[in-house]
Structure 1
Amino acid sequence: MRIAMIGSGYVGLVSGACFADFGHEVVCVDLDAGKIAALERGEIPIFEPGLDRLVADNASAGRLRFTTDLAPAVAQADVVFIAVGTPSRRGDGHADLSYVHAAAAAIAGAVEGFTVVVTKSTVPVGTGDDVERIIAETNPRADVAVVSNPEFLREGAAIEDFKRPDRIVVGLEDERARDVMTEVYRPLYLNQAPLLFTGRRTAELIKYAGNAFLAMKITFINEIADLCEKTGANVQDVARGIGLDKRIGPKFLNAGPGYGGSCFPKDTLALVKTGQDYDSPLRLVETTVAVNDQRKRAMGRRVVAALGGSVRGRTVAILGLTFKPNTDDMREAPSIAIIQALRDAGARVRAYDPEGMSAARALMEGVDYADNAYAAAEGADCLVLVTEWNQFRSLDLKRLRAAMATPLFIDLRNVYRRREVEAAGFTYHSIGRPGDGEAHIPESAAAE
């Protein structure tokens, strides 16, 4: 099939490349001429494992092209995907739909013959109705079926998620779109990917509800971790114990410094605003947003406390800046709040991240950036592991200890075992693991 992908950012580029790899003819459209020129040279604007090779192979085969000229790409397409950004709107937290609306108007002016227009961007309930209305008002003769097909891609594993999805959700009101969307995803049938057809508004809400539930799961285990520190329990054992219950499952139960990224922060906030708009408040999601924001700031205070209550003039080494491994995405990363808190308290911050330092430089001033983990630790009074990149999982602890001025290791991802870190000469702090399961009786319990 002939597919036009409007927007060549993370979702658009990954989706377009994967559709091309299925054998479809794909044209990725973007208004950013510099981005399109770079893509035509084979330069990928984001870091996503395997994406450079996937783009190169399909561009070489002629199945994947890039352009700034929307009209011919849309006119020749059987299916047009809208994959533009929907950031939080400044001031009120609603999703900014201006890019979606602009794309819909542009598509309306270019579409020829029956075309399925698919919203791939994450959008609030009712956005498909808006897209349909804008197209009809802009071009009353346009023969289109507007569909919602939300993406469920994890940064760092997006290609695998696209090709082996848990589910494919397609929301439609016009039955003519059913056969078209079935054909678009037909190559996945060998993997037995469940294709779930729903109403359009239902599909839009599935995306937000899914992200909000996972965000709540992360926030829940983080609060349990705080309780573990007070009671002497081990949060990793608690997570394992409840995760073995098939009704709960083990994923998203890793305690840490809070969630960040391109999806969870903005999507939970947008869902909260949607609930308020419809006079159906989502109290659990509201609390999740508030608790997560507070947690990221609290991690900076945790480092200050571990250094005796003052970090003025002291050097803190930060390992990991991106919100998760295997991405260069710094959006809403916990490291931002942690570093800001440390700098506000007077600390010198030296950081290293395998992929995120270019983006970090644009977001944070006054941070020194190192070439590797050991250079970051040189002369530091504290080492803080913020993002669990694989290369941070087997560091030479003795080498780190020799490089540092003060042997203090704060592991915000529970990557290491206390005994091995302490054996290398460090004082070790983790999340929700007081003594890593060793007996600890709080004073209140002992008094009873």
Structure 2
Amino acid sequence: MKVAVIGTGYVGLTTAISLAMHGHEVVGIDLVEAKIKMLRQGQSPIYEPGLEEALAAVLQQGVLTFTTDLLEAKESEVLFVCVGTPESADGTADLSYLLASVSEIGTLHRSVPRARTVVIKSTVPVGTGDRVAGLLGDCKSLFVVSNPEFLREGNALVDALKPSRIVIGANHDEAKAVMERLYDGIAAPRVLTTRANAELIKYASNAFLATRISFMNELARLSTVLGTDILTVAHGMGLDSRIGPDFLRAGVGYGGSCFPKDTIALLQLAQEQGVSLNLLDKVRQINRTQPLWFLQLVKNAIPELKGKQIALLGLAFKPDTDDIREAPALAIIEELQRCGASIRAYDPIASSAVQKIFPGVSYCGTPAEACQGAHAALLVTEWKECVQLPWDEIYANMAHPALFDGRNAWPVKEVREAGFHYTGVGRS
């Protein structure tokens, strides 16, 4: 099928590449000429393992092209809308980019009419698909579908190629048939439903995963006081088939582009409808305070941080991505600087992005360099480069051998045998 993907950000680029790899003829569209130029040269503007190699392959095969002109998508049967829906000042989703794209699609369709399906893959408030259908109501043979993405940053390409489920929100059988043809050959459960249901499935999924994380983080606070071990507790919980093991890891909190934005958008939507989501409000509160709670562990061990040198290992919100949006490291840096500490940080990918926000931090080329002369080392993102360390060398070069494991990823027995004072999140 001929497919257009409007927006070449994280979701759009991954969607375009995966559809091309599944044999469709895809054109990626973006208004930013510099980005399009990069993509045409096989350079990805985002970091994702395997993404750039896959991009080069589909470009070479000629099944994926890029342009700034929507008119080049005039022959496309399916148009994906993958533009950003950032958080507005009041917490609602900003739909300005999406509505601008819809307006352009309407103009294209009226000038070059043909059977088309507009697929909204951007995360949008419930009712947006119906609103878009209303805006395009005068466009004959044009259908609107909600087809939310469930991509994990760092694993997005894998998730796009082998999705856990495909949710298709469509109000017409013709549109459902188009989507089934588009995803033919992909072995994944289908959920065929209304646009509104599909939109809420996306928000509900992210809100529930955020709830699991915050629940475990709050439980880790109790575990710290009780002297119990949160990893053992999580393992015991995860063996229950009704619970499962995923998203039960305590740490310094979640970040990224999805969970923070989607939880506040769902809260805002509920408030507009006069419904209180008290649990979700508490989830956000726990996540907001988790990095500061973690830092309190550091302050308990080092009461006077002023003038102390702190090593910060990991800056992106999770491994295998360069995304620093809502990253816990940002809140930790801000608080450490407020306390007068000197920070030496390491991240294999995200340092340059954080440096624009915090130029006063010393950014190092290796974890060992960041730990040189440090009074404490904090693991904030569990990159393998930050987890697998030469402990004897680290111990010899630190001013004070204190490790604070914000991801419960360091080998506790090994580091303690090396002489370190180890503190994890809710570890006994």
What is the TM-score of this pair, normalised by structure 2? 0.97
Preserved contact between residue 381 and residue 407 of structure 1 (Cα < 8 Å): yes
- Offset of residue 363 of structure 1: 2.4
1:330 aligns to what? 324
Indicate whether 1:408 and 2:409 are aligned. no
Partner of 1:94 in structure 2? 92
| Paired position in structure 2 for 1:441 | none
Q: CA deviation at 1:142?
A: 4.2
Q: Deviations over 1:130-180 (max 9, x none)?
A: 2112223xxx24431100000000011111111211100000112110110
Give the letter for the 1:226 counterpart: R
- For 1:164-313, list aligned pairs within 5 A: 164-188=162-186, 192-307=187-302, 309-313=303-307
User: Could you report, residue by residue, the CA deviation over 1:405-425 in whole angstroms, capped at 9, with x for unpaired residues?
Assistant: 111111111112433212112
Counterpart position of 1:26: 26
CA distance in 1, matches of 2:281, 2:308: 37
Distance 2:335 2:233 in 1: 30
Q: In structure 1, what is the equivalent of residue 43 of structure 2?
A: 43
Alignment match, 2:368: 374
Task: Give the Cα–Cα distance (whole angstroms) in 2 for the partners of residues 233 and 11 of structure 1.
Answer: 40
Match of 1:108 among 106, 109, 134: 106
- State the distance in 2 between where 1:382 and 1:412 align: 13
Distance 1:159 1:419 in 2: 35
> Per the alignment, in what secondary structure is the counterpart of residue 125 of structure 2?
coil
User: Partner of 1:120 in structure 2?
Assistant: 121
User: What is the number of residues matched between the two proteins?
Assistant: 425
The structural deviation recorded for 1:64 is 0.2
Structure 2 residue matching 1:313: 3-state secondary structure? coil
- Contact 2:294–2:425 (CA<8 Å) still a contact in 1? no
Quote the Cα distance in structure 1 between the aligned partners of 2:139 and 2:156.
37
Q: Structure 1 unaligned segments of length 5 or more: list them.
A: 435-448
**In 2, Cα distance between the equivalents of 1:66 and 1:187?**
25
Q: Show CA shifts across 1:351-373 (max 9, x none).
A: 00011112111222311100000
Q: Is the counterpart of residue 388 in structure 1 residue 382 in structure 2?
A: yes
How far, CA to CA, are the matches of 1:157 and 1:372 in structure 2? 24
Equivalent-residue separation in structure 2 for 1:128 and 1:362 (angstroms) = 37
Kindly tell me: are residues 372 and 144 of structure 1, through their superposed partners in 2, closer, same or farther at Cα, counting changes over 3 Å?
same
- Residues 255-285 of structure 1: CA distance to partner in whole angstroms, max 9, x if unpaired? 1001101100000000000111111221111
| Matched-pair contact (CA < 8 Å) for 2:5–2:16 | yes
Q: Does the residue aligned with 1:187 lie in a helix, a strand or coil?
A: coil
Q: Distance in 2 between matches of 1:168 and 1:274?
A: 24
List runs of 5+ in structure 2 lacking aligned partners.
none
User: For the structure 1 residues 432 and 72, does the alpha-carbon distance in structure 2 shift closer, same or farther, using more than 3 Å as the test?
Assistant: same
3-state SS of paired residue (2:422): strand
- Is the contact between residue 367 and residue 385 of structure 2 (CA under 8 Å) also seen in structure 1? no
Structure 1 moving runs of 4+ over 4 Å: none
Matched residue type, 1:167: R
Q: CA offsets, 1:38-92, max 9 Å, x none? A: 111111100001111111111111100000001221x2110000000011102x1
| CA deviation string 1:363-410 (max 9, x = no partner) | 223111000001101111110011011122221111101111111111
- Give yes or no for contact 1:370–1:376 (8 Å, CA) kept in 2: yes
- What TM-score, normalized to structure 1? 0.93
CA distance in 1 between partners of 2:301 and 2:265 (Å): 36
